[in-house]
Structure 1
Amino acid sequence: MAGLSFDPPALVDQILNDVGAQEGRLPLLQFALKETWEKRQGDRLSAEAYTEVGGVTGAIEKTAERAYAALTPAQQDAARCLFLRLVTPGEGQEDTRARSLIPDDPQQRDVINIFSNPRTRLLVTGYTALQGASQAGNDVRATVEVAHEALIRRWPTLRAWVDAKS
């Protein structure tokens, strides 16, 4: 982050303390810094902006809730169906993300567009060759998956959906 300053300078220590030594925290750090960067003033990252975005542990949750709250009721139902397809239950271990073909349902496609836009970036889209596909690439399909497994652990709405399904 060349050319940036932290206000106050102790914000760096606060961020490092928030990250801690637990595994799986780097995606949370990356997300929190991205959100804080979006709220910077010139070349200054402030403690106020860092707190506003939710810090290391809350930035993903706040972003997901903000995106979900902006959906229509029909899109919220579609979001539940979509996100449940994007989580593989851990059965005694941590749940993990799953890749899925992009659905035909227009409501779910709207959810994908909202949750994968550059401001949100909680879903990622890509392409995959279907098993048994020819080398010519005729069977390549668009896919979607959760960008950070931290979303599965940190977004209470998604946790509730997954827990209710189990």
Structure 2
Amino acid sequence: MSANPMPLTLRVARALLYITAILGLLMMSLMLIGVVVMTEDEVVREMGVGKGATFAFMVPPVAFYVFTFYLAATLRRGGRLRQLLMRVLVALLLVNALVSVLMGDLGPLLDALSATVVLILHESRSARAWYRSQAPSEAAAGSGPQAPETGETAPEAPGVPTS
């Protein structure tokens, strides 16, 4: 266990991500079962496209929900990458909700609300401080910046602080 535990705001955000991912994957599983048991004609009548296209349209949402679950599961590791991935995830949720609303579907407004709550929790002062404390220090990573190919220490630019 780390010396600096995850703040409550991030634990709540992580719980919301788990809920989003599990409900989304459950929804996609039920949709998959529904498409599998339907005949080709029924799928075309209901969806406007064949079974193959319907399965192809299901791949991005499934990938998104798997990414959401992965991020929730690995959020405890902290670091700049997880912080960036959380921001990307929230941006994707908000863009999806905006596009859906512009197309006349009001269903994703709840997704936009939950994404906004996750963003507020994620960008709280305690969460940002925790992410900073989880970042690896330069002393642990090495003595300084490394040259890309040789492994030697890269020369420092004059007048530019290293920290």
The structure whose Rg is larger is 2
TM class by shorter chain equals: under 0.3
Q: Which has the higher contact order (CA 8 A, sep 6+)?
A: 2
Q: TM-score, normalised by structure 1?
A: 0.24
> Could you say which structure has the higher helix fraction?
2
Q: TM-score, normalised by structure 2?
A: 0.24
> Could you say which structure has the higher strand fraction?
1
